[in-house]
Each structure stands twice: as C-alpha cells, then as structure tokens.
Amino acid sequence: MALFKKRDGAAEAEPHMNPIDLETLAKINEQSSPDTPREWLQVLYAADERAARKAADEITAADWEIRTVEEAEDGDDWLVLAARTDVILSPELVCRARAFFEKVASRTAGGQYDGWQASL
C-alpha cells in the first residue's frame, strides 16, 4: 500500500521521510486501518542515568509520557522509553517525532535515537 501517489498513480515517497519510517508505516497500514488509534513508543539511549533523566525531562515537556528510564540490558547505556496513546499515525506526525527525538539525542550525552514502534 503506497503512502503517497503521483497523479499518474505511481507511488512516491515524501523526500524528507526516513525510508525506515515509510516502510514501517506501510507495514502497519497493511495489517490494520491507518485510522486506528494506537500506542506509539519512542526509544532513546543516553550515556548515563543523569543524561537519560535530563532527556526524559525534555521529552516530558513535549507532552510525551515516559514509560521507563533504566539501565539498558547491555549495561553500557541508559534507556528512555517514551509513549503516546490513542495516536493516529501519519507520515507528517512520524517525521516531526523523528526530528524531535533526533534533536533530543543530539543534545544528550551519548544520545542515540533508536526509532519507534506502534501497536497494531
């Protein structure tokens, strides 16, 4: 299922969309209605607890719910898991979220945005 179509009917990706995001949205839309509200999770890593909690504060200020701030399984980083519920995903919304989380990661010590997932 194409997310965007040219007038001649050929699929076209919006130029600023991350290819992984486009692929993920397409898979979600194949398995459920694009208009279905869903839980949407964002994953960010930080170098240490202090950096993770600082990032979590910034994320919370942007109206995201923090699900966890904890040491990552590998023990080298700290995980920040943020969520929104009852979200109807769109390419524009996903693009804005990626830009926001990448910006937070860039200002976070050891920050790395690791993408998102959504419920079906």
Q: Where are the domains of the chain?
A: 36-118
Q: Spell out the residues 6+ positions from residue 12 whose beta carbon is closer than 8 angstroms to its own.
A: 2, 4, 5, 6
Determine the CATH number of domain 36-118. 3.30.70.970
Q: What is the pLDDT of residues 74-88, one digit of tens each?
A: 889 999 999 999 999
pLDDT at 58: 98
Q: What is the pLDDT of residues 25-66, one digit of tens each?
A: 999 999 999 999 999 999 999 999 999 999 999 999 999 999
Q: Which of 2-6, 106-110, 112-116 has the lowest mean pLDDT?
A: 2-6
Indicate whether 95 pLDDT > 50: yes
C-alpha distances in Å from residue 116, one per residue of 5, 20, 21? 25, 10, 8
pLDDT at 47: 98
**8: buried, middle or exposed (CB in 10 Å: 19+, 13-18, 0-12)?**
exposed
Instruction: Tell me what the mean pLDDT of segment 96-106 comes to.
Output: 98
